[in-house]
Structure 1
Amino acid sequence: MDSQAVPPANILLYGAGSICGVYLYQLLQAGCNVTAVCRSNYEVVKADGFKLTSIRYGNVLYKAVSIIKSVSDYSETSIDFILVCTKSFPGIKPSLADQLSPVLQGRPYVAVVLAQNGVLIEEELAVAFPDNPILSGVVYCPAVQTGPGEVEYPEMMNLLELGTFPSTAPKSHKDAVHWFAGLMEQGGGRAQAHEDIQIPRWPKLLMNAAWNPTGALTLTTDGDFLTTSEHARDLAWGIMMEIIEVAQKIGIPGITVEVAEKNVLNKQEEGTTMVTATFTPCARTHWHHHEDGQVLEVKAGSGWVCDMGGVPQRLAVGDIVWCPAGTVHWHGADEGSTLVHLAISRGKTTWYDAVTEEEYNQRLGKPGQ
């Protein structure tokens, strides 16, 4: 939306972790009066504030105007928005409506902003407080809280997509969407207002449903995961196909195979990818080649790289190796070391068979086992 000047607001920020740490900074930059509810990080944030390490905003220290332990401690007489960045899934006890009740009771004008990915997150709150504007948000902000009040935000990506729940809400609720979106942009972020927020929710769900579980279970990023095996793409693709089937059956437009291919999986096949891969002892890639070549830079541990038909070459910390375009090769960890390397790959990656024990043991002149 256009970054026209919008009036500052009185905001209660609920769930002051990584995402709210970033959004707090943006709202302060927009001139807002922000009170933050902190729980596990209360003592540190109360004393020292937040420390944000980021590419987009630099490295900054900042504090909310007020830090409190619970919603019931909120003492401001005026409030315009409650920004919720804690999990707001249906069925949690106490419900989000119960948690916010101390500040919503008797204040039907207060808009609640749910900065929460996923679906079916709004109805419980809307039923409990039918007169309050419910602003549903889809978050693109890859930040992580590395310690109490310490937020790392290593990418430029910053987008909050907003819309009312339900989409047929009155004009005053729609106006609240534009006001809050304007504040986010005025604070240096990006925001988009939508007539029906449920439509942009599903492309984000398409990514999250595939990458969040695999990342949590394998302790890798999405890019790292795709380099681990020739089967990694098929696993992610299968999850996405299930999401697409559900979306189409309930009438969500625009969630197609083409969306999955274009927005997610082609990161493996086109352009330049940069990932940090970790291999446990003896782990290695399959045989593969890169359309336009690959650079490996060893960050930790030791390992091996080997071209097909060639002699395995040892990798050590600090080594930088060029794998020429079209050269079939493998790389992985030594048998007594975990290997961490940065891989910068260009063009499509083509995968072949697994590296056998016999092929792996050639690095030491050992026979196959």
Structure 2
Amino acid sequence: MAKLVMTEEETMLADMARVFLDGAMPVSKLREMRDTGQTHDAVLWKEMADMGWTGVLVPESAGGSDMGFAAANVIAGEMGKTLAVSPFLSSAVIAATALRQVSDERTHAALASIASGDLTYALAVDEGIKFDPDNAQMEAKADGNGFRLTGKKQFVVDGTMADRLLVLARTDDGLTLFDIPSDRTGISREASNMIDARDAARITFEDVEATGDDVLGAVHSAMDVLQPALHAGQAALAAEMTGLSAGAFGMTVEYLKERKQFGVEIGRFQALQHRAAHLWCEIEVTSSAILHAGRKMDEDIANSELAVSLAKARATQTAILAVQEGVQMHGGVGMTDAFDMGFYMKRARVGAEWLGDYSYHAEKIAAQRGF
């Protein structure tokens, strides 16, 4: 049975990431990006590439570091602590995992470009108000040796800045995954105004041409390629949300040590100590679930659904608790935009919905356990 503590290598990776992110991407950087309307920092992305983060799941033969899913989760967790903005999840985790399921020259070249930081991806799956990839209705109509894509996708994270799109569409006998450039004729992208100030888009496909070469994997068999990628993204997002919880918790504890009422630090009040202790315990248990998901994916990604859904469900609950407690323990100042806790709350809300909310993953867990 895997130990639910970080290995020495993972601890070193976390420490390295923490030093870099504290200097390059503190929460104040997110505030600056929001205020100036910036949703992507190309310089920061290249620095991540130089450190090997963009190639964390890319084979060494394609120029990646191939550190594995557990390592990707470590990086995502540290990014969550300062709410670092980057296409890490969309490109280095989800797209890289999908591309690895297909072994050919095209995917090898794409993986190499992701590892170098020269290529970004976005996942175009969502169509309704909830995550439900199995019921995607966007049409891919057969046209000679290719297809014509028609339909709309929403909540496409990193969709306005991505170079390429992974598009899930319904063909005659099932679902097919396409890998196409985002500027192809017939594609129009509209930026969504997200509460967490991140890049997301609504994308319309109007009779978009897709050749057989654009199919990632086999026709009608999208989930063979997409499912491992979704699991990788869900686990990394859960890790980010747990890092978010730790960041919000740390900010709250510091405030409890400094804020005084009746001449006494409020952190001395037993009721607040109990609430802080409870939150700390929840973060620790969720962190163990994240570690377990990463280990399981590295060992047997095909059978990792239960571990991944448990991690995402717990991370969602923990993040919501962390930001709610953070706002309440800060009192009135916690509700103001001038204070950073609001950024954590907004990101937690978006993270709770992306790639499946609590109910979605709870149902997966129940199904896996025979309920």
So what's the TM-score if we normalise by structure 2?
0.23
Whose helix proportion is higher, 1 or 2?
2
Higher relative contact order (CA 8 A, sep 6+): 2
Which of the two has higher C-alpha Rg?
A: 1
So what's the TM-score if we normalise by structure 1?
0.23
